[in-house]
Amino acid sequence: MRRLSKVQLLLVAMATVAVTFASQNPQQGSTSIPNYDSATEVRLQGVVLDANDHLCPISGGMGSHLILKIQNGTIEVHMGAAKFVKEYQLILAKGDNVEVLGSRVIFEGRDAILAREITRGQETFVFRDANGKPVW
């Protein structure tokens, strides 16, 4: 039977420690992806400060987002997949007054909204059904 060298033993020991540490700390370094929860549904009115698309695990790829100025600060609104929003022909610009109906969540340590509906003037855009399931 072949004996392990000191270097091989050290590598096995390091791997064992790493596996043990990772299994005891599964949340460390990972971001939990929030789900829509109708129990946390809120209706907010605000002014669009910024509208942008960026990679987002909530929408499963490139997502469309708003930064909304609300009464007590700002909040990021996750609308949905950028491709869906583009097909919707929804263009929100800085300064637009909107009302957002959605689930208030914590994402990456900050308050955020998963939008179900956004209303601008007489137009209402739907991103999720009444149960919070994405329509894209």
- pTM (predicted TM-score): 0.76
User: In b/e form, how buried is each residue of 84-120, taking b as 16+ CB within 10 angstroms?
Assistant: bbeebebebeeebebebbbbbbebeeeebbbbbebeb
Q: The domain 38-126: what is its CATH number?
A: 2.40.50.140
Please give the structure tokens belonging to residue 111.
């308050």
Residue 10 has pLDDT above 60, yes or no: no
pLDDT over threshold 90, residue 50: yes
